[in-house]
A and B are shown apart, each in its own frame.
Chain A
């Protein structure tokens, strides 16, 4: 007997896909009939044509890779930092007393505020983007992890100790799995944050990537390329979150899912 599996939510994405195609169709019509300015809103067919056409490699796909690299390496660094900080704060009172007020005080500051300082340290380039993405990702995961540490069931720790678990085994077999739902929630938010942050910094400081490309195309009124970048970004965001959810469900098959629909 296998644990019953929920039907994959991919089935639920058909209505979304259909309505998305519907919007594209309306847009196409509006642009072709000149109801909206085709200069600012080129028809989707033209955008698609641009994505396959000359110079797309330099204008869309290489920047796409650069942004992906910025976002994911920032997420890896920032996420690990955030998780480590959260665990440390949850497990050690003095660390909590020092770090938590600091985190709360700086959380509300927009990370853009740190650009001049980080710029001085890293120079303008990939490292700058990755550092700022990492900083943005670290906050959410740290706060989520810290919160998760408070939600751990102390009886489970007692049970593990009673069954002969040593300190390291308690960490590995009780604390880590108990935290997993919080780590998943924190990393999922950080994943989306990482793309937003990467694009903003690329645009702001003209570092290679979709952000800079979007900015350049926009200011040259090359709207086909501009929308091509936006579409690639949307697909990137959607696909990475889907992939994340599939991985999370495979890693934590025990996690219960409550849906409001289930409540009658």
Chain B
């Protein structure tokens, strides 16, 4: 297999609190594969993405990312992390600016991406002036404009209302199917995972490990009809049965003192 991401025994213990967030995570992601990560709250999904992005160091184990060019593995943060002092257009251009892309090209690419995510109207607004959905789109645009080979996305559609979320999911599939980047996508929605992913990884309760890996059989291009495809309900049920026990364990678990 031509693997783009390969995680081997990834373990993370936070030294200040002694919390073990991840315990020996193993998985591979193939080049151009879209993987969704499902797991109960607090099982270490965000931590895992930060390890893959090289933003924190693993306590043990390693993650190897194969990249052709210099383009980084771009992350869309769970809390978006838009820069409050930059307007939407400047936020979207921030990555290009850091990488030394000259201003005219930066502007052209950023505004193209604003059009693609349909927030061109908000180009001059600051983050605190945006609605939740607009902020989310801005964060997506900021990652996409860097044209990374790998996208790490932490519940990027999590704060949208149901109907906006559905529309963005469809747009997102279309965007992805156009250039097939390698994606690791964290979500809490089983339906979203089945709609987007080539494969779903289910994590255990904390400390997180990979409990199961389930390929998603539905044909592409996918869309609203996919949810009515034969086997969709069964796939949903089998993912839920994997997730249910772990979620119960999380809820019953007493927080470590």
A residues sitting closer than 8 Å to B (CB atoms) are: 1-4, 153, 155-156, 158-166, 169, 173-174, 177-178, 180, 252-254, 256
User: B81 near A155 (CB under 8 angstroms)?
Assistant: yes
User: A164 near B95 (CB under 8 angstroms)?
Assistant: yes
Could you tell me the distance between the alpha carbons of A12 and B87 in the complex, rounded to whole angstroms?
29
A-B contact pairs, 7 of them (CB 8 A): A1-B124, A3-B125, A3-B126, A158-B75, A159-B83, A180-B85, A254-B128
Please name all residues of chain B whose beta carbon is closer than 8 Å to the beta carbon of A4 when the two chains form the complex: 129
Contact of A159 among B81, B87, B99 (CB under 8 A): B81
A4 to chain B minimum Cβ distance, whole angstroms, is 8
Could you tell me the distance between the alpha carbons of A5 and B53 in the complex, rounded to whole angstroms?
38
User: A159 near B77 (CB under 8 angstroms)?
Assistant: yes
Please name all residues of chain B whose beta carbon is closer than 8 Å to the beta carbon of A252 when the two chains form the complex: 85
User: B125 near A160 (CB under 8 angstroms)?
Assistant: no
User: B81 near A169 (CB under 8 angstroms)?
Assistant: no
Please name all residues of chain B whose beta carbon is closer than 8 Å to the beta carbon of A164 when the two chains form the complex: 72, 95, 98-99, 146
Please name all residues of chain A whose beta carbon is closer than 8 Å to the beta carbon of B77 when the two chains form the complex: 155, 158-159
Contact of A163 among B85, B98, B126 (CB under 8 A): B98
B residues sitting closer than 8 Å to A (CB atoms) are: 50, 53, 55, 72-75, 77, 79, 81, 83-87, 94-95, 97-99, 121-126, 128-129, 142, 146
Contact of B98 among A2, A3, A165 (CB under 8 A): A165
Query: What would 15 more interface pairs be, CB under 8 Å, given A159-B77, A163-B98?
Result: A1-B124, A3-B129, A156-B83, A158-B77, A159-B81, A162-B74, A163-B72, A163-B99, A164-B72, A173-B83, A173-B94, A252-B85, A254-B85, A254-B126, A256-B128
Could you tell me the distance between the alpha carbons of A163 and B144 in the complex, rounded to whole angstroms?
11
Find the B residue at minimum CB distance from A2.
B124
Q: A177-B85, A256-B128 are in contact. Are A160 and B79 (CB under 8 A)?
A: no
Find the A residue at minimum CB distance from B101.
A164
Q: A155-B81, A254-B84, A254-B85 are in contact. Are A160 and B126 (CB under 8 A)?
A: no
A215 to chain B minimum Cβ distance, whole angstroms, is 45
Could you tell me the distance between the alpha carbons of A3 and B121 in the complex, rounded to whole angstroms?
12
Please name all residues of chain B whose beta carbon is closer than 8 Å to the beta carbon of A155 when the two chains form the complex: 77, 79, 81
Please name all residues of chain B whose beta carbon is closer than 8 Å to the beta carbon of A159 when the two chains form the complex: 75, 77, 81, 83
Could you tell me the distance between the alpha carbons of A46 and B142 in the complex, rounded to whole angstroms?
65
Contact of B121 among A1, A158, A177, A256 (CB under 8 A): A1
User: B85 near A160 (CB under 8 angstroms)?
Assistant: no
Could you tell me the distance between the alpha carbons of A165 and B99 in the complex, rounded to whole angstroms?
7
Find the B residue at minimum CB distance from A252.
B85
User: A158 near B55 (CB under 8 angstroms)?
Assistant: yes
B113 to chain A minimum Cβ distance, whole angstroms, is 14
Contact of A158 among B81, B98, B142 (CB under 8 A): B81
Please name all residues of chain A whose beta carbon is closer than 8 Å to the beta carbon of B79 when the two chains form the complex: 155
Contact of A156 among B72, B81, B142 (CB under 8 A): B81
B230 to chain A minimum Cβ distance, whole angstroms, is 40
Could you tell me the distance between the alpha carbons of A177 and B84 in the complex, rounded to whole angstroms?
9
User: B72 near A162 (CB under 8 angstroms)?
Assistant: yes
Find the A residue at minimum CB distance from B99.
A164
Q: A158-B50, A162-B75, A177-B85 are in contact. Are A169 and B122 (CB under 8 A)?
A: no
Please name all residues of chain B whose beta carbon is closer than 8 Å to the beta carbon of A180 when the two chains form the complex: 85
Could you tell me the distance between the alpha carbons of A169 and B96 in the complex, rounded to whole angstroms?
12
Could you tell me the distance between the alpha carbons of A163 and B77 in the complex, rounded to whole angstroms?
12
Find the A residue at minimum CB distance from B129.
A3
User: A3 near B99 (CB under 8 angstroms)?
Assistant: no
Please name all residues of chain B whose beta carbon is closer than 8 Å to the beta carbon of A163 when the two chains form the complex: 72, 74, 94-95, 98-99, 142, 146
Could you tell me the distance between the alpha carbons of A166 and B122 in the complex, rounded to whole angstroms?
28
Contact of A3 among B74, B84, B87 (CB under 8 A): B87
B168 to chain A minimum Cβ distance, whole angstroms, is 21
Please name all residues of chain A whose beta carbon is closer than 8 Å to the beta carbon of B83 when the two chains form the complex: 156, 159-160, 173-174, 177
Please name all residues of chain B whose beta carbon is closer than 8 Å to the beta carbon of A166 when the two chains form the complex: 98
Please name all residues of chain B whose beta carbon is closer than 8 Å to the beta carbon of A158 when the two chains form the complex: 50, 55, 75, 77, 81
User: A162 near B126 (CB under 8 angstroms)?
Assistant: no
Could you tell me the distance between the alpha carbons of A160 and B87 in the complex, rounded to whole angstroms?
15
A218 to chain B minimum Cβ distance, whole angstroms, is 48
Please name all residues of chain A whose beta carbon is closer than 8 Å to the beta carbon of B87 when the two chains form the complex: 3, 254
Could you tell me the distance between the alpha carbons of A165 and B128 in the complex, rounded to whole angstroms?
23
Please name all residues of chain A whose beta carbon is closer than 8 Å to the beta carbon of B129 when the two chains form the complex: 3-4
Q: Which 3 A-B pairs have CB atoms at the shortest separation, nearest pair first?
A: A163-B95, A159-B81, A177-B85
A146 to chain B minimum Cβ distance, whole angstroms, is 20
Could you tell me the distance between the alpha carbons of A254 and B55 in the complex, rounded to whole angstroms?
27
Could you tell me the distance between the alpha carbons of A155 and B46 in the complex, rounded to whole angstroms?
12
Could you tell me the distance between the alpha carbons of A177 and B86 in the complex, rounded to whole angstroms?
9
